[in-house]
A and B are shown apart, each in its own frame.
Chain A
Amino acid sequence: AQKITQTQPGMFVQEKEAVTLDCTYDTSDPSYGLFWYKQPSSGEMIFLIYQGSYDQQNATEGRYSLNFQKARKSANLVISASQLGDSAMYFCAMRGLINAGNNRKLIWGLGTSLAVNP
C-alpha cells in the first residue's frame, strides 16, 4: 500500500533561517513522483515542487529544494531564508507512475504547520 508520513505536526523557524520539513513514503511502484504543496490560511493549495523517482538531481524551485534520498524513502522539503509569508500548512504527496490503479490520484500526508517568527 502507498503511504506518506509527515512526522512533524508543527514547526517553528526564525525569519531568514532555513527549515527542513520531513516526509517519508512507502510505495510498491518502481516509478513515482513526489510533490510538496503549501496551504496558507486562505485555504488554496499551492504547488511548490516536484521530484521524479528517476530524476538524477534533487529538484529546486527558488527558495525551495527537495532533499530526495531514495534508499531511505524520504523527500524532505528545505525552505531557505524563511519569510513571514512562508507561514502555512505544508503537504507532501506521491503519485505512482506505473500501476494503473495508482497513477491518477495523489496520496497525501497529514501536513506540517510551519510558523515563521519575526
Chain B
Amino acid sequence: DVKVTQSSRYLVKRTGEKVFLECVQDMDHENMFWYRQDPGLGLRLIYFSYDVKMKEKGDIPEGYSVSREKKERFSLILESASTNQTSMYLCASSLGGLTNTGELFFGEGSRLTVL
C-alpha cells in the first residue's frame, strides 16, 4: 500500500521555537510538496521539491525553509515559530514528468498550534 507518512499528527510549540515537520514517501516519487491549510483559504503551497537537494518556493514561503537530502524525505522547518503559523500542514508527493497525471498523494496532515 503506497504511503506518505507525516511524523506528527498534532504538535504544540511555543513562540520562537524551532519546529521540524517530517514527511516520508515510499513511492519513489520525484516531487514532494508542503502545503498549509487554513479555513476559508484552501491549500496554499509553501515549498516544493522536484529532486533531491532541489527546492522551489511556493506561494507563501516566508517564515519557512525545507530540506530534501534523500528522495523519500522532505522536511519543513519553522526557524522561529510564530502564532500565525498555527495551521494544518499537509505533505504530498507525485511522480515527475508529463506523461502521467501528476496525481498528488497526501499524508494525514500535521496540526500545529503555536502558543
Q: Which of B35-49 contact A (CB under 8 A)?
A: 40-43, 45, 48
For the complex, what is the distance from the CA of A111 to the CA of B98, rounded to whole Å?
Answer: 26
Q: How many residues of B are in contact with the other chain, CB < 8 A?
A: 26
* Stretch among A16-24, A63-71, A100-108 lining the B interface: A100-108
A47 within 8 A of B: yes
Q: Among A35, A43, A52, A104, which residue has its beta carbon within 8 angstroms of that of B50?
A: A104
Beyond A33-B101, A43-B108, A104-B31, whether A91 also contacts B48 by CB under 8 A is no
User: Across the interface, do A110 and B40 meet the contact criterion of CB distance under 8 Å?
Assistant: yes
User: Across the interface, do A45 and B104 meet the contact criterion of CB distance under 8 Å?
Assistant: yes
User: Across the interface, do A106 and B108 meet the contact criterion of CB distance under 8 Å?
Assistant: no
| Cβ-Cβ contact count across A and B, 8 Å cutoff | 54
Q: Among A91, A97, A110, which residue has its beta carbon within 8 angstroms of that of B98?
A: A97
Q: Among A47, A50, A104, A111, which residue has its beta carbon within 8 angstroms of that of B42?
A: A111
Interface of A is mostly: loop
User: Across the interface, do B108 and A35 meet the contact criterion of CB distance under 8 Å?
Assistant: no
For the complex, what is the distance from the CA of A84 to the CA of B100, rounded to whole Å?
Answer: 32
For chain A, the bracket of interface size reads 20 to 34
Pick from A43, A52, A97 the residue with the most CB of B within 10 Å: A43
**B residues within 8 A CB of A111?**
42
User: Across the interface, do A47 and B104 meet the contact criterion of CB distance under 8 Å?
Assistant: yes
